[in-house]
Structure 1
Amino acid sequence: MTAPGRHLVTGAGSGIGAAVARILAGRGDELWLPARSAQRADDLSREFPKAHVFVADLADPASLEKSLTGLPDALDSVLHIAGVVELGPVAELEVDDLRAQLDVNLVAPMLLTKACLPALRAARGLVLVVNSSAGLTANAHWSAYAASKFGVRAFADALRAEEQGNGVRVTTVYPSRTATAMQQKVHEQEGAAYDASNWIDPQTAAGTIVHVLDLPGDATIPEVTIRPAPRQG
């Protein structure tokens, strides 16, 4: 019997992160789940009673390393799925909104990965970053979010080159619009009607992530892009 995997998953409270955590928990893998507050930690603990839930605010990267207590000596993956978005033109950028997107989407994944590298090397594990189509193309009103996603793309590319000799695989997943609470917020900010059926199901994105995670040791997928299927009419 294959031993249960050991994974640190950010963003497990909703959307793609929750879908991934449910798949992994359902098959008996061991999970470490950061939560941004004690209340969120309680919520996660109720949904994932066997998981190791701890408070770690990704919006406060300077505090992250002190939050990472009780991690195992070996981790099969660190899955960076959490993210925040705030749309707006450059002419109206608020520094707090800019800082929040950079901290959660870019700085926190870098520092979390740094802290977990010894455990990842021990297991020859995977670092997976859920990016966005905005990490490939920046459109009007998306400057801050896209900048954070272009940045985390560069981080993943550099990490892949640095860690290949240590057996650590690095994958970036670029999902297009996915039917999550974040996507509903984006539609509100764009002034557009939201219909979840038009977009990728979080379970579909989660299945892709788990497929990458479960690849045999002789293969890796550096990048994968997910797009909504063409629709009739």
Structure 2
Amino acid sequence: SGPNSFNSSYILPDDDALFVVENFDAPSQYWMAVSPKHPIMHYAVNHALLRVMMLDEIGTLDASLTTGPYALLDALTWFMYDVGVTTVKKPIVNGTYHGRYNRTVRIIGEGRTRSDEIIKREYLGWNQKRDIYNDEMGMHHFQQMKRKWRAYNRTCLSVFYDLGVGPPKGFEAPRMGLDPRAKDDGPTRPPRASRASRASVASPAGTK
């Protein structure tokens, strides 16, 4: 993302957290200015983690509904729920939201087709973003891996276990190709039998 009409005057001296309304009519997940230890960030990060960890199929992950704007929408909902307000839901409108401990969230702009008026969401093209991930950060972009993950039919918790804990020695299972450092991107396959061994199976000893 990058500035469109945005300039320093948009941030006010008493702003505690500032978002724009993005095209999903939710608080922007691609641009924000938030003071330290703000409750909305605590809620957003934990909502995103819970949504990802509970995925029953990693290849069907929809980022907008897990780690994207909906995590922040849930965070704002819980931020207001703390003070007994239960009416905050999509579409989010601009204004100032008051939560516990005198913490506030200010949201500016309009959603849908006007969401780029203040902050332009797609400031970099796909190829530029991919190159930054691959070359400068040494990692794969989510969209690069998602297509390959569809073949594995695995829960996120099982992937966390394999990559973070791993099976005890002697219980190793075939690698599922989810390590971005690995050269191949698929499950480990057994070595192909040599021509001689295939011939011996096809023609047992003593036969022609």
**TM-score of the superposed pair, with normalisation by structure 2:** 0.27
Higher relative contact order (CA closer than 8 Å, sequence separation 6+):
2
Structure index of larger Rg: 2
**TM-score of the superposed pair, with normalisation by structure 1:** 0.25
